[in-house]
C-alpha cells in the first residue's frame, strides 16, 4: 500500500477510536476520573495514574507497594551467601537465578506455588567488567553466559501478611540452561535438516536460548519461546542447502555470542544444521524437575516472541504467536484434535496434542477482516519450485512460507494475548521505525504509520468466539506515542498516561488488559512501565500507568496470582551500555552491578490490583 495520510487510515477503519489529541486535557492523569463520571461499563480500573518517571529507581502508583522477590545471582539451592559477581563461575551461575528474566508463569500444584521464569539473554556490558556490548568477546565468559540463559523454576510461599518469598532448595527448584538436554517432537523430529554430528537422529538437542515470552497451557505446562536465535551461531556457513534459509533468519550475524569458539555445536562449519534446532516453542513441565523439555515443531520456526494458548469451544487448542522481527508475521496454530483430560502419565503427555495441527499466518485487509492462510506443503505456492519439498521445510522456514503466501508484514509482533473472558485477542506491535523508509514497505491496513517509532495494539474479534475461524474481524485498540507520533487512544485520552513500544500483555483474573513497554525512553523520554488499558466504552484505549522501571530497564513478564491481588513483573537489563555502571538497581551498592530482578506488586490494603 502506498504511503497514506493518517486521517485516511482513521476513516477506513470501522471503529477506530477517535483521536482527540488536538483537544486533550493535558496533565489530568487517571486520578481525576472516577467511575461515576462515566457509564458503568466505561471504566473498569480504579487507581491513580503514576506520573511519567525517568530516574535510577522504580516507582509505583499511590496505594501500592513494589518489592523485589529475586535478583540475578540469588541462591536457589543453597543457603544465602553474598553475590560475588566478580568471582562468578558457570557452576555457581547454574545454581543461581539467571540473567534478564522475562516471561513469568505461576501455577498451583498440590499446594505448592511454582513460578516459571524465562532468562532471555545476557548483557555482557552489565555483567562483566571490560565488556561494552551485549555478547562478551572473552571466552572465559562463555560458560557463564550459557548458564545464565534458559529458565528458573522456583517454589514460592506466601506469609500471613500476603508477602511472597522464594523457597530455597524446594523439590521443584530447577535451572534449565543452554546445556539442558531436550526432545525434538512433532513433524520435524528426525528430519535430515535437524541432524548434527552430535545428534544423527535429529530428535535430541542440548539447550534452549533467547527464551523471551511464553504461555501457559490448560494442562499446566509452560510454553517458552526461542526468539532472537541469530545471536547464537558463529563460524563459516558452508552448507548450500541452508544458504537461503539462513539468510532469511539472519544466521551468521556478525556480533553473535562467541560460544561457537569453545562449543563446536554452535559452530556452523562443524554443525551446519544446528540453527534449525532453535527458534521453536519449547514445552516444560514445572511440576517434574526430572522431565525433559520438548521442542514442539508443529508450531513453526521463527523468532518466537510468545505462544499464548486458548482452548476453543470445541476443545481444540489454539495458539497465537508473533514474530518480533521487522516486517515479520503473525501466526496461529490450531491443534488437529481436542484436548481431553484423561489419565495421562504426565503433563507433557497432554502436550502431544501440540504435535499435530495447522499453522497459519495472518493477512489483514482494509475492510476490517483478517484472513488466516494455512501453511501447508503443496498449497499456495509452498511447492518445490519455491524451495519447499515437504511440510517439514514449510515449518523450518515458516518465515519464507509466510513470504510466499503473502502474509501481512507487521511492525514487530510481540505478545499476542487472547482474553478468555471476551475471546478477543490483543496484538502488541512494538514499533518499526524502518517502515516506509528507503526500500522498506510503506503502510498497510494493520500497520498504518510510516516510521512507526511508538508501536500500536490491534484487537482481533473471532466470530462467535471461534478461535479456529479462517476469517476474523480486527480493529485498532490504540496507536501509541504522543502528539508528534499522531497517536490515538480513547476519546477522553489523558496525556500523562501515554505509552510507547507495547511489548508484553496479560489479562488479569477479571478479564482486563495490561500492557508493558520496551523503549519508551527513546520515544517519550520516560521510563518503561506497565499500564492498565481500557478495552470498552468511551475510554477504550485509555492507558493508566501502575509501575515504572528504573532507567534503562524494560518491563516484561506480567503475571497475576489467581486472586488478582499480586502482580509479578520482570525488570530486565536495568542499565544500558551508556549508563550501566551508574545504575546499581536494586541494591544501590556501588560494588554490585545492576541486577535484573522480579518485582512483586501488591495493594497496600490487600485488594485486587487495578481496583
Q: Least distance to Ca ion from the beta carbon of 342, Å?
A: 28
Listed ranges 165-173, 205-213, 244-252, 492-500: which one lies at the site for Ca ion (CB under 5 A): 205-213
Judged by CB under 5 A, which of 403, 415, 459, 528 binds Ca ion?
415
For Ca ion, the binding residues in 212-231 under the rule CB under 5 A are: 212
SS3 33: coil
DSSP class of residue 25?
B
Residues 6+ apart with CB under 8 A from 270: 197, 235, 264
Pick one of ligand FEO, Ca ion, none as the site partner of residue 183 (Cβ within 5 to 8 A by kind).
none
Please identify, using beta-carbon distances, which residue of 257 and 426 lies nearer to Ca ion: 426
Residues 6+ apart with CB under 8 A from 300: 321, 331, 333, 359, 375, 395, 398
Q: How many C-beta atoms lie closer than 10 Å to residue 101's C-beta?
A: 28
First to last CA, the chain: 43
Q: Least distance to ligand FEO from the beta carbon of 207, Å?
A: 17
Q: Least distance to ligand FEO from the beta carbon of 573, Å?
A: 11
Strands (E) across 186-255 are located at 204-206, 211-216, 222-226
Residues 6+ apart with CB under 8 A from 258: 135, 136, 137, 139, 142, 234
Are β-strands 294-296 and 181-185 bridged in parallel, bridged antiparallel, or unpaired? parallel
Binding site for ligand FEO (CB under 6 A): 120, 212, 227, 305, 324, 414
Is residue 103 within 8 A of residue 556, CB to CB? The reply is yes
Chain length of the chain: 611
Q: Least distance to ligand FEO from the beta carbon of 570, Å?
A: 11
Please identify, using beta-carbon distances, which residue of 228 and 287 lies nearer to Ca ion: 228
Judged by CB under 5 A, which of 503, 508, 521, 534 binds Ca ion?
503
Grid coordinates belonging to 15: 471503529
Pick one of Ca ion, ligand FEO, none as the site partner of residue 227 (Cβ within 5 to 8 A by kind).
ligand FEO
Residues 6+ apart with CB under 8 A from 376: 358, 382, 391, 394
Please identify, using beta-carbon distances, which residue of 42 and 324 lies nearer to ligand FEO: 324
Please identify, using beta-carbon distances, which residue of 176 and 404 lies nearer to ligand FEO: 176
Chain residue at closest Cβ approach to Ca ion: 415
Q: Least distance to ligand FEO from the beta carbon of 210, Å?
A: 7
Q: Least distance to Ca ion from the beta carbon of 300, Å?
A: 18
Pick one of ligand FEO, Ca ion, none as the site partner of residue 415 (Cβ within 5 to 8 A by kind).
Ca ion
Please identify, using beta-carbon distances, which residue of 242 and 414 lies nearer to ligand FEO: 414
Pick one of Ca ion, ligand FEO, none as the site partner of residue 328 (Cβ within 5 to 8 A by kind).
none
Q: Least distance to ligand FEO from the beta carbon of 513, Å?
A: 18
Listed ranges 51-59, 121-129, 279-287, 412-420: which one lies at the site for Ca ion (CB under 5 A): 412-420
Torsion of CA 239, 240, 244, 248, to 10 degrees: 10
Residues at the contact surface with Ca ion, assessed by CB under 5 A: 212, 415, 503-505
Amino acid at each position: 500500500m502506498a504511503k497514506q495520510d493518517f486521517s485516511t487510515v482513521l476513516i477506513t477503519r470501522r471503529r477506530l477510536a477517535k483521536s482527540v489529541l488536538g483537544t486533550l486535557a493535558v496533565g489530568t492523569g487517571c486520578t481525576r476520573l472516577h467511575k461515576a463520571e462515566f457509564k458503568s461499563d466505561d471504566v473498569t480500573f480504579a487507581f491513580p495514574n503514576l506520573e511519567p518517571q525517568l530516574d535510577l529507581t522504580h516507582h509505583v502508583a499511590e496505594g501500592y507497594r513494589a518489592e523485589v522477590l529475586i535478583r540475578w545471582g540469588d541462591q536457589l539451592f543453597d543457603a544465602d551467601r553474598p553475590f560475588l559477581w566478580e568471582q562468578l563461575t558457570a557452576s555457581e551461575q547454574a545454581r543461581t537465578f539467571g540473567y534478564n528474566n522475562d516471561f513469568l508463569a505461576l501455577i498451583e500444584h498440590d499446594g505448592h506455588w511454582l513460578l516459571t521464569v524465562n532468562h532471555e539473554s545476557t548483557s555482557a556490558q552489565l555483567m562483566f567488567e571490560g565488556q561494552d556490548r551485549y555478547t562478551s568477546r572473552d571466552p572465559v565468559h562463555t560458560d557463564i553466559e550459557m548458564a545464565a540463559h534458559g529458565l528458573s523454576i522456583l517454589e514460592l510461599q506466601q506469609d500471613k501478611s500476603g508477602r511472597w518469598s522464594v523457597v530455597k532448595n524446594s523439590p521443584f527448584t530447577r535451572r534449565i540452561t543452554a546445556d539442558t538436554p531436550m526432545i525434538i517432537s512433532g513433524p520435524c523430529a528426525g528430519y535430515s535438516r535437524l541432524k548434527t554430528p552430535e545428534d544423527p537422529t535429529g530428535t535430541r538437542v542440548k539447550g534452549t536460548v533467547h527464551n523471551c515470552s511464553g504461555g501457559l497451557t490448560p494442562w499446566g505446562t509452560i510454553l517458552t519461546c526461542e526468539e532472537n536465535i541469530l545471536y547464537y551461531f558463529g563460524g563459516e556457513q558452508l552448507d548450500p542447502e541452508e544458504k537461503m534459509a539462513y539468510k532469511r533468519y539472519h544466521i551468521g550475524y556478525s556480533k553473535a555470542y562467541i560460544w561457537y569458539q569453545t562449543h563446536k555445536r554452535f559452530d556452523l562449519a562443524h554443525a551446519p544444521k544446528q540453527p534449525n534446532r532453535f527458534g521453536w516453542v519449547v514445552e516444560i513441565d514445572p511440576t517434574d524437575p526430572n522431565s525433559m523439555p520438548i521442542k514442539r515443531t508443529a508450531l513453526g520456526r521463527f523468532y518466537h516472541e510468545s505462544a499464548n494458548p486458548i482452548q476453543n469451544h470445541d476443545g481444540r487448542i489454539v495458539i497465537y504467536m508473533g514474530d518480533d522481527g521487522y516486517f515479520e508475521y503473525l501466526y496461529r496454530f490450531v491443534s488437529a484434535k481436542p484436548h481431553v483430560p484423561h489419565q495421562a502419565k504426565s503433563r507433557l503427555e497432554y502436550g502431544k496434542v501440540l504435535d499435530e495441527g495447522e499453522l497459519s499466518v495472518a493477512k489483514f485487509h482494509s475492510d476490517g477482516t483478517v484472513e488466516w492462510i494455512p501453511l501447508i506443503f503443496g498449497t499456495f505456492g509452498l511447492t518445490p519450485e519455491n524451495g519447499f519439498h515437504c511440510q517439514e521445510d514449510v515449518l523450518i522456514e515458516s518465515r519464507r512460507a509466510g513470504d510466499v503466501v503473502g502474509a501481512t508484514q507487521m511492525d514487530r509482533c510481540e505478545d499476542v494475548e487472547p482474553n478468555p473472558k471476551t475471546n478477543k485477542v490483543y496484538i502488541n506491535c512494538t514499533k518499526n521505525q524502518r517502515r516506509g523508509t528507503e526500500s522498506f514497505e510503506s503502510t498497510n491496513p494493520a500497520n498504518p504509520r510510516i516510521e512507526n517509532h511508538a508501536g500500536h495494539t490491534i484487537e482481533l474479534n473471532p466470530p462467535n468466539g471461534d478461535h479456529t475461524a479462517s476469517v476474523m474481524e480486527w480493529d485498532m485498540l490504540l496507536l501509541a506515542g504522543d502528539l508528534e507520533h499522531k497517536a490515538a487512544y480513547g476519546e477522553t485520552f489523558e496525556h500523562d498516561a501515554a505509552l510507547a513500544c507495547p511489548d508484553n500483555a496479560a489479562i488479569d483474573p477479571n478479564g482486563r488488559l495490561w500492557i508493558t513497554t520496551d523503549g519508551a525512553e527513546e520515544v517519550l523520554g520516560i521510563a518503561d512501565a506497565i499500564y492498565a488499558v481500557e478495552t470498552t466504552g468511551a475510554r477504550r484505549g485509555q492507558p493508566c500507568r501502575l509501575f515504572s522501571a528504573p532507567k534503562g530497564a524494560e518491563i516484561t513478564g506480567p503475571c497475576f496470582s489467581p486472586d488478582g491481588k499480586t502482580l509479578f513483573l520482570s525488570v530486565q537489563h536495568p542499565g544500558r551500555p551508556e549508563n550501566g555502571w551508574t545504575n546499581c538497581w536494586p541494591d544501590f551498592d556501588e560494588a554490585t552491578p545492576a541486577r535484573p530482578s522480579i518485582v512483586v506488586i501488591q495493594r497496600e490494603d490487600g485488594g485486587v490490583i487495578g481496583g
